[in-house]
């Protein structure tokens, strides 16, 4: 069998791939530069701008308005929850008020005992009494060897204390011969004396009183407290304020001085801005919807 040579088989020609164009070729065609047109940015819109600032002011005011509402609620409940009587002496709070511990410089001396008053305590020998004595006007030691007593005068009574500060008794009119006590003192023989217009003395712990010449009495007056005694008073001399007062100042921003007050003022302005911008956006959107529906 004879083979017929037909020659090399020709493959069908494939179209040549188009040359890839680089980045430069995309911008240059035939030596002529073509400009690339970007999508035009939308023009500023007053409604969109207001929405953006409305959100920003809302985020800023959110935390402060929450605090103002919460603190306002606590202030309204202050009397019922006792915040008007609770006192705090935290160091950082007192520093914000510019207050620092300051022991009293004067007090009353009776024998070996010292009576001093701070903003929160009445102290006998640098120890606080169980009940604070408001505005004592005199302090003397009396009683007998078997029953020593200390007498603290106020404008309306004479309070009798044991040497360790315990309450023994309190004398008022009519047991006390005067309705108002102007001063308290002691006679040479150790009797206790009080005076309003007239002076009276008692040698038996206040059970009976007799008139006495005021010139024969050594009246109690304030004296300078020695430095060692003042050092003992330091722990009880820290200033304090009521919790209600702190809440009111925190609510108004005054707790942090003028800066805090202006922050709260700005929150108020932000709230006004939020209400105005909110009402304007509501009106604008409502107007646009009416136009579309027509």
Q: What is the pLDDT of residues 16-69, one digit of tens each?
A: 545 555 544 444 444 445 455 555 555 556 666 666 666 666 666 677 777 778
Per-residue model confidence as pLDDT tens digits over 140-162: 998 777 788 999 999 999 999 99
72 preceded by cis ω (within 30°)? no
Q: Is the pLDDT of residue 98 over 70?
A: yes
DSSP string, 103-152: --SEEEEETTEEEEE-SS-EEETTEE-SSPPSS--EEEEEE-SSSEEEEE
Q: Are residues 169 and 152 in contact, defined by beta-carbon separation less than 8 angstroms?
A: no
pLDDT at 215: 94
pLDDT at 294: 67
| Rounded distance between C-alpha atoms, residue 112 and residue 222, angstroms | 15
Q: Is the pLDDT of residue 170 over 80?
A: yes
pLDDT at 42: 56
Selected residue with higher pLDDT from 223 and 262? 223
Give the helix/strand (H/E) hosting 52.
Answer: helix 46-76
**Nearest of 108, 101, 110 to residue 122 by alpha carbon:** 108
Give the residue-averaged pLDDT of 97-116. Answer: 91
Mean residue pLDDT of the chain comes to 80
Q: What is the pTM of this model?
A: 0.59
Q: Is the pLDDT of residue 109 over 90?
A: yes
Percent of the chain with pLDDT strictly greater than 90? 35
Structure tokens at 250: 């925190």
Q: Is the pLDDT of residue 6 over 90?
A: no
**Nearest of 186, 199, 132, 190 to residue 161 by alpha carbon:** 132
Q: Are residues 163 and 182 in contact, defined by beta-carbon separation less than 8 angstroms?
A: no
């Amino acid at each position: 069998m004879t083979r017929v040579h037909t020659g090399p088989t020709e493959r069908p020609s494939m179209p040549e791939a188009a040359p890839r164009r680089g980045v430069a070729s995309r911008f240059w065609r035939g030596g002529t530069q073509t400009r690339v047109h970007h999508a035009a940015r939308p023009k500023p819109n007053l409604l969109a701008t207001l929405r953006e600032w409305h959100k920003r002011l809302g985020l800023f005011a959110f935390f402060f308005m929450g605090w103002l509402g919460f603190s306002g609620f606590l202030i309204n409940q202050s009397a019922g929850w006792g915040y008007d009587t609770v006192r705090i002496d935290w160091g950082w709070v007192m520093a914000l008020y510019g207050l620092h511990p300051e022991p009293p410089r004067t007090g009353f001396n009776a024998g070996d005992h010292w009576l001093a008053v701070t903003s929160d305590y009445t102290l006998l020998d640098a120890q606080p009494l169980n009940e604070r004595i408001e505005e004592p006007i005199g302090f003397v030691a009396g009683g007998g060897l078997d029953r020593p007593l200390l007498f603290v005068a106020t404008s309306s009574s004479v309070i009798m204390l044991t040497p360790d500060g315990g309450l023994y008794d309190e004398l008022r009119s009519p047991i006390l011969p005067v309705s108002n006590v102007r001063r308290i003192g002691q006679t040479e023989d150790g009797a206790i004396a009080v005076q309003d217009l007239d002076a009276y003395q008692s040698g038996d712990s206040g059970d009976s009183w007799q008139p006495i010449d005021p010139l024969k009495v050594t009246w109690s007056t304030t004296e300078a407290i020695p430095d060692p005694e003042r050092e003992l008073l330091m722990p009880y001399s820290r200033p304090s304020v009521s919790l209600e007062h702190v809440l009111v100042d925190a609510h108004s921003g005054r707790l942090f001085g003028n800066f805090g007050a202006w922050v709260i003022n700005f929150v108020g302005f932000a709230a006004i801005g939020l209400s105005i911008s909110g009402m304007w956006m509501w009106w604008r959107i409502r107007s646009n919807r009416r136009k579309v529906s027509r």
